[in-house]
Amino acid sequence: MIILGLTGGIGSGKSLVASYFNRFVKAVVFDADNVVNNLYNFDNNVIELVKSYFPTSVNNGVVDKNDLKHYFLLYDDLWIKFQSELHSIVWKIQKDFILSNSRRITKYVVLDVPLLIEANYHNCCDFVIHVKANSILQRQRLLKRGMSRHEFELISRLQLSDNDRKRLSDFTIRTGLSKNFVVSQVKDIVFQIDSRVGCKI
């Protein structure tokens, strides 16, 4: 089994790339954003964790994500401590996900994690792929999601520069030109990886 980690700026197209790995080489994808959303929605321990840090963000046992975003945008020591606890939970879920798939006939696992390198999730990857888009396209994608300029700038500050990501990655995929171009890059990377490991999976 080969573990691929995706790193890239917010709005660079990591989820799109992950979906193509799933579609064309049957990779199983660990979607960290989806995991966190499910924790907020359904995990009583995480809901209580949120409540212990940010009481106004939980109403009748439901996490108010808009209210919680207010604390994220403050990004103070309290948020950093909360985020550290949440990351520990996500890390364990990711480890269990990898272990579970290692027991199956799974060739590729893709980790779609927003702060893959920054939070050291890349340490369990066999290869890291840098997903890159130009800054104008990134902003356009995020405006469509309803993200504020302040939120975009904060997240950008928390992330590594493109140069650092490229330096720490094995491959780069450029998005934004056409879907066919992205697909061709995915297939080329799979070919290169299979050649390196001799398909001994």
Domain boundaries, the chain: 1-27+108-195, 45-106
User: Is 16 labelled as part of a ligand binding site?
Assistant: yes
Model confidence at 201, in pLDDT bands (50, 70, 90)?
Answer: very low
**Greatest Cα pair distance in the chain:** 54
178 assigned to a ligand binding site: no
Q: What angle do CA 131, 135, 139 make, to 5 degrees?
A: 105
> Could you report the per-residue pLDDT of 42-70, keeping only the tens digit for each?
999 999 999 999 999 999 999 999 999 99
Please say whether the structural domain 1-27+108-195 has been given the CATH code 3.40.50.300.
yes
Residue 52 assigned as binding residue: no
11 is in an annotated binding site: yes
- Whole-structure pTM value: 0.89
- Residue-averaged pLDDT of the chain: 91
Q: Where are the beta strands (DSSP E) in 101-174?
A: 108-112, 127-132, 171-174
171 DSSP β-pair partners: 129
* Residue 14 annotated in ligand binding: yes
Residue 61 is assigned to a ligand binding site: no
> Which of 83, 147, 70 shows the shortest CA–CA distance to 119?
83
Is 186 within 8 Å of 17 (Cβ atoms)?
Answer: yes
Where does 156-200 show beta strands of DSSP type E? Answer: 171-174
